Amino acid sequence: MKTIRIKELRTEAGLTQQELADRLGISKQAVSAYETGIRRPSFDIADALADFFGVSIGYLSGSTDQREAYPRHDLPLTSEEASLLEAYRYASDEIRAAARAVLGVR
């Protein structure tokens, strides 16, 4: 089983397994199992780990070297953002394709 980067991130942060476990509300044994690859964290725990260390889940799992966390989308939309999304929702397929091309979105 592929080992995820928890140990690397934990040691960079200067934390023991117990300290990380306490901060996440999990057991030290769970942290150890995640670090050695015996167990894989649930999505909720992986999300909490990525958020705690400020990295992307892809980086945490070892599937990418992009360390930066992706922007969180739990902030409310501004009125301009809401208007743009509304316009996109009702746009023609051609306009949507052009908008995606300009934004670099597939």
pLDDT tens, residue by residue, 23-80: 999 999 999 999 998 999 999 999 999 989 999 888 998 888 888 876 666 677 788 9
The partner residues of 55 in beta bridges, in order of sequence, read 68
Which DSSP category does 15 fall into?
-
Q: Which amino acid is at 58?
A: G
CATH superfamily ID and name for 6-61: lambda repressor-like DNA-binding domains (1.10.260.40)
pLDDT at 104: 86
| pLDDT at residue 60, rounded to an integer | 92
pLDDT band at 3 (very low <50, low <70, confident <90, very high): low
DSSP per residue, 75-91:
SPPPHHHHHHHHHHHHS
Predicted local distance difference test score (pLDDT) of residue 1 = 44
Domain residue ranges of the chain, discontinuous segments joined by +: 6-61, 76-106
What DSSP designation does 93 have? H
Query: For residue 11, what pLDDT is reported?
Result: 96
Question: Which whole number is the average pLDDT over 87-99?
Answer: 92
Q: Which of 72, 7, 9 is CA-nearest to residue 35?
A: 7
